[in-house]
Amino acid sequence: MLALSVGAPAPGQAQTATPRLPQITVTGDTGPVFGVNRADVTGFGLSLAKTPQSVSVLSADLLDISAAQSLSSVIRLDASLADSYNTTGYIESVSVRGFLLDQSNNFSRNGLVTSHLAPIALENLDRIEVLKGVAGLQSGVSAPGGLVNYVTRAPLSDDVTSVALSATDHGAAKLHLDLNRKLGALGLRLNIVDEALRPRFDQADGSRQLLGLALSADLSDATTLSANLEYHRKRQPSVPGLGLLDTNGDGTGDTLPAPVYSRLNLNNQPWSQPFEARSSTAELALVHQIDANWRTRLALNTQRLRIDDRLAFPDGCSSAATYVYPGLCANGDVDVYDYRSEDEQRRLWSWDARLDGSFQALGLQHSTRLGLNGRSATADLAPLQAYNWVGTTNINAPVPLPADATLSSLNTDSRERALAGYAALTSTWSPTVQSILGLRSTRLSRSSQRSDGTRAVSFAQTVTTPWAGLTWSPSADTMWYASWGQGAELEVVPNRPDRFANAGQVLPALKSRQTELGLKWQANPRLLMTATAFDIDKPYADDLQSADAAGLPTQVAGAKTARHRGLELAVSGRVDAALSLHASLMALDARYTQAADAALVGQRVTNLPRVKASLFADVKLAALPGWSVNALATLESGKTVTSDGSVTLPTGWQLDAGLTYLQRLAGKRLSWHLGIENLTDRSAWREAPTTPWGGVYVFASTPRTWRASLTLDF
């Protein structure tokens, strides 16, 4: 890993006297190894088998062999993860345990806060770590679903060059160069990607470029300096979702469109422009080994995003006797708006300083982490955006409409700063019992104002989020644990002045709470099995009717509460020399327990499955040396679309398959791969998110796609 996020050593496991950081070596034709032993996202410095939290690690070999191309395809690899308004050409989101992660607070890069308001480049990642559940100790102010840590590719100890070329049956193509060099004490790794995007949707072609550079230098036997630079650009028309059809004429959509429109793109007007995002990230980390038991790390990063968000946006329907919202008219009519918010500029600075170590006190062995971190984020948008009704089209017979790029709606700019102190203490009470206590205190300040200087709002708040865990290991390969923790989250009212009296306002942070019980079994050195039960309570903002002249509602913090209870089962790693597995199952009961609208109490939270299962398996064929087959099967059941539960998505499932051949050619390693996404070409509505402004949209599954790739390592 480049910017090392080194945890405190596990109690009773003192570090060796040689402080030089470990090097990573590329092995031969070993094939995929899904069982990763540790994850930096927890911050405890323990192996996954001994960490009293539910953690999933999606390693680079798993992403490669499963042919993951986007965050949505990564989400299919874990049952606790789910889509939320994920569509071609736009920024992707993820929910964990049914809670939508905050794009500004629930994501980190090599342990440092990063903004998720831009597309992610999977090619520059070594792994994706997902901490499930409340992460108040690790991240302070963030949504309670979990924390995602992107670990970038770092320099290796050997000189290796990898060139990969891939293409799909409908014209998409990608070239990826991964170059590693060891130049004395300096390690260098370069990742370059150029991709032509050709999705199945009408008029949604685009392009993508990536440049990633990682450097690592041993300044001494005890000190390492690392740097990471990345530039990522993506330009592609986004594909909007559809809505429910209002078949009974009451002004609200109530019926799923049929058939499934898996290739329709209503953002296909003559004047439609692509969504474009450009992100630049720079990162430095200094790690110093003080002695055999103590280590310190100082890291900082900066990120700059520039986004042009443009879309012919279908929403609501005005051609019926009663205006329909949310939804479409019964005949498939839908209103179209010319939306343009250009030159959105966001900047982020974050830093982290910490001390990790182990010691003895009161007759017990302890390890500890003490740290300070901070971040500063700004959002400067253009003074005005366009959001103008331009006419009505139809999902069965789309028609061209005139453009109206008149800048008519004010934007909202914001400033946010956070300073946090944190501490964690792991204590060994006996050979079988450990406890972990942690606390983070965050001072948060946030301000926002409309682009004309009006509606200026600012506030400051200190939030303290404790965490406690207890483990019992009756045998060397088994651990039971119980944990309790708190998290806190900010909410911002959507910037829709036509729908909210306090549009764009930042609301006070409120606390969520989680209790978790778990069992972990290290079935063999490369295979980990886990079972987890959890209970999370989270307060939300809700709409209260306003007394203003327009009669618009005001969003108020804490006006409703949801409780998510669930069970997770997972297995990941290598069963034997031929079979590798990454499989999981989640059963989730997510309901509102309090709301301003009494009819909502007891209803299930929309767009969340009652049950989700994911199974990925890779099998080496003993009869055919060098050949292996793999498959990914996913199933989701019980997703509701409407708040009253009257509309649900049918049970959805999908099967992907792949074939890989590894060979040696002139001493070089050559890998051929053929994959089929959605092998049966099954059409289905895969998700139906409800947005913060009340819109309900449905998104279709991807049609069958063939993908071939060739990778040469030399």
- Residues 376-402 have pLDDT tens digits of 999 999 999 999 999 999 999 999 999
DSSP letters, 501-558, are TTTTPEEEEEEEEEEEEEEEEEEETTEEEEEEEEEEEEEEEEEEE--STT--EEEEEE
Say how many CA atoms lie within 13 Å of 52 toward its Cβ: 24
Torsion angle (degrees, nearest 10) of CA 668, 671, 672, 676: -170
* DSSP conformation class of 678: S
∠ Cα 423 485 639 (to 5°) = 135
Q: How many whole angstroms separate alpha carbon 132 and alpha carbon 148?
A: 9
Q: How many whole angstroms separate alpha carbon 97 and alpha carbon 658?
A: 29
Residues 6+ away with beta carbon under 8 Å from 372: 352, 353, 354, 419, 420, 421, 422
Residues 6+ away with beta carbon under 8 Å from 548: 501
Confidence of residue 21 (pLDDT cuts 50, 70, 90): very low
Torsion angle (degrees, nearest 10) of CA 46, 49, 53, 59: 90
Grouping H, G, I as helix, E, B as strand and the rest as coil, residue 12 is coil
Confidence of residue 596 (pLDDT cuts 50, 70, 90): confident
Confidence of residue 506 (pLDDT cuts 50, 70, 90): confident
- CA distances 226 to 3, 12, 124, 154, 190, Å, are 6, 29, 16, 9, 14
Q: What integer is the mean pLDDT of 608-631?
A: 96
Task: Give the pair of three-digit tokens for residue 119.
Answer: 């597309």
**pLDDT higher for 627 or 498?**
627
Query: What are the beta bridge partners of residue 213?
Result: 190, 229
**421-475 pLDDT, tens per residue?**
999 999 999 999 999 999 999 999 988 888 888 888 888 889 999 999 999 999 9
Confidence of residue 34 (pLDDT cuts 50, 70, 90): low
Letter for the amino acid at 624?
Answer: L
pLDDT for res 179 = 98
Task: Give the pair of three-digit tokens for residue 600.
Answer: 């909502």
Q: What integer is the mean pLDDT of 78-89?
A: 95
**pLDDT > 80? residue 644:** yes
Q: How many whole angstroms separate alpha carbon 523 and alpha carbon 119?
A: 37
The model carries a pTM of 0.92
pLDDT for res 572 = 94
pLDDT for res 545 = 72
- CA distances 517 to 10, 55, 89, 110, 428, Å, are 21, 13, 39, 28, 19
**pLDDT higher for 667 or 482?**
482
Instruction: Using DSSP bridges, classify how beta strands 705-713 and 160-168 pair: parallel, antiparallel or unpaired.
Output: antiparallel
**pLDDT > 60? residue 5:** no
Task: Give the pair of three-digit tokens for residue 400.
Answer: 């061209």
Q: Which CATH number fits domain 40-713: 2.40.170.20, 1.10.274.10, 3.90.550.10, 3.40.50.720?
A: 2.40.170.20
Furthest CA-CA distance within the chain: 79
Confidence of residue 611 (pLDDT cuts 50, 70, 90): very high
Residue 164: phi and psi, rounded to 5, are -125, 135
Residue 49: phi and psi, rounded to 5, are -70, -20
Mean pLDDT of the chain, nearest integer: 91
pLDDT for res 18 = 35
What percentage of the chain carries pLDDT values higher than 70?
95
Residue 512: phi and psi, rounded to 5, are -110, 160
Q: Given strand 81-83, what is the order of strands in its sheet?
A: 81-83, 94-96, 99-100
Q: Verify cis geometry, omega within 30 degrees of 0, for the bond prior to 259.
A: yes
pLDDT for res 20 = 38
Residues 6+ away with beta carbon under 8 Å from 359: 293, 366, 367, 368
pLDDT for res 8 = 37
From the list 580, 589, 643, 646, the residue with the least C-alpha distance to 612 is 589
**276-316 pLDDT, tens per residue?**
999 999 999 999 999 999 999 999 999 999 999 999 999 99
From the list 487, 489, 499, 588, the residue with the least C-alpha distance to 541 is 489
Task: Give the pair of three-digit tokens for residue 611.
Answer: 């049950």
Confidence of residue 22 (pLDDT cuts 50, 70, 90): very low
**53-78 pLDDT, tens per residue?**
999 999 999 999 999 999 999 999 99
**pLDDT > 90? residue 26:** no
- Residue ranges of the domains in the chain? 40-713
From the list 193, 40, 214, 16, the residue with the least C-alpha distance to 127 is 40
* DSSP conformation class of 248: S
pLDDT for res 16 = 34
- Element housing 62 (H / E): helix 60-65
Letter for the amino acid at 257?
Answer: P
∠ Cα 541 591 481 (to 5°) = 100
Q: Could you tell me how many residues make up the chain?
A: 714
**347-365 pLDDT, tens per residue?**
999 999 999 999 999 999 9
Confidence of residue 4 (pLDDT cuts 50, 70, 90): very low
Letter for the amino acid at 508?
Answer: P
Instruction: Using DSSP bridges, classify how beta strands 107-109 and 146-152 pair: parallel, antiparallel or unpaired.
Output: parallel
Q: Verify cis geometry, omega within 30 degrees of 0, for the bond prior to 383.
A: no
pLDDT for res 153 = 96
Pair 652, 624: CB distance under 8 Å: no
DSSP letters, 665-681, are ETTEEEEEEEEEESTT-
**pLDDT > 50? residue 23:** no
Residue 303: phi and psi, rounded to 5, are -140, 140
Sign (positive or negative) of CA dihedral 101, 56, 418, 557: positive
- Element housing 63 (H / E): helix 60-65
Residues 6+ away with beta carbon under 8 Å from 184: none
Residues 6+ away with beta carbon under 8 Å from 435: 426, 427, 429, 468, 469, 470, 471
List the helix and strand counts (H, then E) for the chain. 3, 36
- CA distances 311 to 275, 323, 385, 488, Å, are 7, 22, 12, 33
Letter for the amino acid at 74?
Answer: V
**110-120 pLDDT, tens per residue?**
999 999 999 99
